[in-house]
Structure 1
Amino acid sequence: MEHADWSLQLRDAHELYQALLIDASVRSGLYQRLQSGVLDEDLNQFDPRFVRSVLVALESFGYIQRQGPFVRWVNTAGVRRALYLSQHLRRWLDLAAQLNPSVAENPASDYDGLGLEVLNESAPLLAQWIVEVAGVKKEQRWLDVGSGSGLLGTHLARYTKEVILCDCPDVAGRWNRALWPDNVKALALNILDGDVPGKFDGVLLCRFVEMVAPRQVRFLFTKIFQILEPYGRLCLVGYFSPEAPLYDLFRVQVALHVRDGHVYSLQELLDLASQAGFDVAGALVQRRHGYDLLCLKAGAADLEPSSATSTGHATSMAGSTNNRMAAMTGTRTSFVRNPEPV
C-alpha cells in the first residue's frame, strides 16, 4: 500500500497528466503514427506494457478515437499547450541544478517515502471506511495482505482483536514493530508462495490486486477464501470502474511501477471471486476518497456468530472451493515458506 495515497495527491492534476501523456506520445513517435490512423497490431515497436494503458488514457481524454480496427489521433487542439506545459515542467525540475551546479543529484533517489506523511492522514479515513462497510467487530481477527508501510493495518487494529500484517520479507524487514500496538503481528510472507496459518474473519487487499499478474489473481482469491471463516469478508480497495476518478491514468501509474501489473474492472474481480467461491450476489461496492471499495462475503449471514450484528449486505451461500487450487498454475516467487506471525 505504499502508493495508496496516490489519488489524494493527484485529484486536481488532470491537465498536468494529460500534458505528460501527450509529451510522451510526441517524443516516442506514437503521436506521429496515430495522426494518419493505424492498426493496433502495427504499434509493435512500442512497449506493450505501456502502449495499451497510454492509448486507453488518451481515448478517455478525447485525443484519440477508435474506428473498427483502426485507432487515430482526432484532437490536436490541446497538443501545443500540452507540449509547452511539459517543457515548462522540465525547466522547473532542472531548478535544483541551476541553484547549485556543483551538487550531483542521485538519479536513483526517489521521494516515495514522503508519501507516508500523506498516508498517515489518509489511513485512518480508509480504516474507518472499511470498518463501516465490512462491519468489523472488536472480537475479530483480520489479515492485511500487501501491507506495505503497515499504516492502514495498524489503524484497523484499533477496531478489532488482532491484525496480521502480511508482506514479502524485503518489505517486512523495514517495519518498525516497536511503534505497533500489541494486537498487531507481522508475517513475512509472499502469500502467492506460502500458506498463511490460521483462520480470519476478514482479509484486506488495499491497492494490491493490480500488482498481481492476471493469471495469479484467481489463485490469490482461492487461497484467501480457504483461510476465511465461513462468514468472513474480503475487502478490496482500489480503482475498479471506469467512472472512478483517475481510473485511466492509474493504468499508466501501475505500468510504471509493476512489470506484470494490471488494473481490473469490477466485473473481472467479481468473475474471479465467484470462481474462488465468494458470494458475489451479495457484493457491496462503495466509492469514497476517490477509491472504490469492494466487500465480498465467504458465506451466508446465518453462519455469522450471534455476537455480530447485521451490516445490511445482501448475502447468499458461497459454494465450496472443491480443491480449485490444485488446478491452478502461475509464476511463483521464491520466498520463505509458512512462517508464523510474530
Structure 2
Amino acid sequence: MFSGLKKSSNALIGIDFGSNSIKAVAISKGKGTFQIDAVAEAPIPKGLIVDHHFEDIAKLTQIIKQLRKNFPTSYKNIAMAVSGADVITKVISMNADLNEIELEAQVELEAENTIPFPLDEIYLDFEVIAPNATDKSLNDVLLSAARIETVQAQVDCVEDAGLTTKIVDVASHAESRACELLFDRADYDKGIAIVDIGASQMMLNIVHQGNVIFSRSKNHGGATCTQMMAEHYNMKFSEAEKAKVDHEWPVDCDVDVIAPFVNMTVNHLRFDLRMFTNAPNNIQVDKVILMGGCQLMPGLVTQLEEELDLDVEVANPFIGFEYKNESDKTLLHKVGTKYMMALGLALRGVQ
C-alpha cells in the first residue's frame, strides 16, 4: 500500500488486471472462515493491457463497469496491485533505534540512492518486517516503490467506473498473502516457491517466514501455448485460444504442442529456481505452489514434481470457504487458482 493512498478499508473488491482478462473477488469474514460474496471475470481485447501498462483507459473503464454489476452495491472500494518494471521492492537494513521520522528520512535517502526513478516520480512505502537475523541492532525494512503514472492509470480507470481505490498493493505481496492460507505451521521456516503462470507472464516468488525474499518474472504464459497451437495448425489466434481453453484440440496436439510447451515451462522454472539456490543464502525450496490459469495445462503438475523433485501443490484455498452463491462455489472449486491474486487483494479488507 503506497503512501498517499493510505485509507482505512473494508468490504473490498480485489481486482486483478491481467493481459487477457480482469478477475475480481469480494469476500467477508464469518465464523471461523471466509465467505465469497461475489466473483467475476471479464475478458479484455488483446492490446488493452500490455506489459502491465493500460493502453486504453476508456475501454477498460467500460469493462470494469460491466464487471461491477456482479457485486453487491455495498462493495464500492477497490484493492488492486501493481507489478512489472515500474515496481521495485527490496529489503534494506536500518538502525533499530531510529524513531519514525528518522526512519522515514533514512528510507528516502536509501531510495534516492538505489531506486532508478526520481523520488518525485514514484509512490514510496516501507514497513519494518523483523529484526535483522545477524545483527540485532538493525531492523530489516521492506521498501516498495512504484511509478506514479503506472499507479495513477489504474486509479483513474477504477474511479472513472464509479469505484474508489482504497489500497494499491504489490502483486508479489498479494499473491503470497493468498497462498499463506495454504501454509501449515511447518511451512513458515521453509522456502516456498509461488509460481503464477498467467496469459503472458510467469512470475516466481520465494516466500520465507512470511516475506518475499526472491522474485523473477519472464514473458511466458498461456499466450505462448496459444501461439504455438495457432502456428502448428494454421489457425487464427482466437480459434486456437478457444480450442485450448475448451481442451478441444486435435489428438496429436498433446505431443506436438502441449508437451513442448510444458517442457519449456518446466525449464524456465528450473532455471529461475537455480538462480535462487545459487544466491548466497541458506534457504532451500521445499515446496512449489502453482497458481494462474495456465497451471491447468495437462501434465504440468506431474512433470514439475518429477523433474524438480519437489512437492507441487495447486493453489486453491477456496475449497474451504463458504459461499453466498452456489454458482461461485462451482466455479472456484474448479478454477479458483486463477483468482488467487484477486483473493490476496480482497483479504486486505478483512484482515
Same fold (TM over 0.5): no
TM-score interval (norm. to shorter): under 0.3
